[in-house]
Amino acid sequence: MVHIEIKCNRNNFLRNIGSVIVLKFKKGDMLLLLIILIAGVSYFGLKFLYRDTVEKTAVISVNGKEYDRINLDKLTDEKTIHIDLGHGKYIHIIANSEGVHVSDVVCPDRICVKTGIINRVGESIVCLPNRVQIFIEGSEIPEVDSVSQ
Ligand SMILES: [Zn+2]
């Protein structure tokens, strides 16, 4: 009888300690969860804001003159741009949801093809021998401008 009582008390004691530990652990967990949640929300919030206010445009220029502009955000299908550079030379550019790249070119170094896909603001592909440049420009959406005016 006595032995059972002691055992019972000990179990209660352990259970109490256990619940205190669980409670503390849960508090710490919740704080950590809250921090992760806040960080996550602000990260995606900033990403969303950035996406909403900046438009990406691929600007293609030949001989220093603007040849074409492709709004990458409004691009639904793949767009191909074939530029005849004269004397049998040409450059073939593909723009799609992944970005912009030179798929084919008559070019001695072919660095433009080797550059691969560009899709971030500020990135560029340069074909020096043909004097062709593709540059990704970031611009604010006009709606934002009208609000600030
Ligand atoms: Zn090239």
Q: Cα of 90 to ligand 1 centre, how many Å?
A: 10
Q: Cα of 108 to ligand 1 centre, how many Å?
A: 7
Range 96-101 average pLDDT: 95
Q: 24-56: per-residue pLDDT in tens?
A: 667 788 888 899 999 988 887 776 665 556 889
State the residue for tokens 């950590």.
32
The answer to whether the CB of 105 falls within 8 A of the CB of 133 is no
pTM given for the model: 0.61
Q: Cα of 105 to ligand 1 centre, how many Å?
A: 7
What integer pLDDT is reported at residue 10 of this predicted model? 62
Ion ligand 1, residues whose Cβ is below 5 A away: 107, 112, 127
Range 65-85 average pLDDT: 95
Closest CA to 97 of 114, 115, 117, 113: 117
**More confident of the two residues 26 and 80:** 80
Using DSSP's 3-state secondary structure scheme, residue 98 falls into: coil
State the residue for tokens 């790249």.
101
Q: Cα of 68 to ligand 1 centre, how many Å?
A: 18
User: Which two three-digit tokens encode residue 64?
Assistant: 């220093």
